[in-house]
Amino acid sequence: MDQQKFEQSCAIKFCVKLGEYTTVTYEKLQRAYGEHSLSKAQLFRWHKSFLQGQEQVEDEPRAGRPSTSKTDNNVERVRSLVRSDRRLTLKMISSELNLNRFFRPSNCNTGFGHEKCARQDGSKETHD
């Protein structure tokens, strides 16, 4: 769990102990964390679990396949490769770096620091 999510879950727990409504808690998190605040759905889930007596402020482990391809090392490898040739397609990038087939353009925008990624047909796709 990253530091901001941990802090926010602690803040939610505190607000629950004070008897704050979820909407008031949500507004406070919005003011404190801005665009990095938890979504309403996440806040409501945390709020409900604390109301039901949960004391732990960290996420419980979930079943499922963990994300293994988005590591600091892979982020730097993708950045380096894209800097060398911005016309590379996603298929070419994933093949060259041996990334799984679920590599998506959104990875370029959010995790890899690029606003444009080449599509497989060679055209540019913009993410805003």
For 75-99, what is each residue's pLDDT tens digit? 888 888 888 988 888 888 888 888 7
Q: If you ran DSSP here, which 8-state letter would residue 69 be given? A: S
pLDDT tens-digit series, residues 19-44 = 999 999 999 999 999 888 889 999 99
Give the position of tokens 């590379």. 88
* % the chain with pLDDT above 90: 23
Q: How confident is the model at residue 68 (pLDDT cuts 50, 70, 90)?
A: low
Structure token digits, residue 91:
């298929």
C-alpha to C-alpha distance for 9 and 62, rounded to whole angstroms: 17
Q: Model's pTM, two decimal places?
A: 0.47
Beta bridge partners of 89: 118
Structure token digits, residue 82:
């894209």
89 in helix, strand or coil?
A: strand
Q: What is the mean pLDDT of the chain?
A: 77
For the cut 80, the answer to whether the pLDDT of residue 128 exceeds it is no
How high is the pLDDT of residue 24?
Answer: 93
Asked whether 47 and 25 are in contact (CB, 8 A), the reply is yes
Structure token digits, residue 92:
């070419």
C-alpha to C-alpha distance for 34 and 80, rounded to whole angstroms: 31
How high is the pLDDT of residue 23?
Answer: 92
Q: Where are the domains of the chain?
A: 3-51, 72-126
C-alpha to C-alpha distance for 5 and 59, rounded to whole angstroms: 9
How high is the pLDDT of residue 88?
Answer: 84
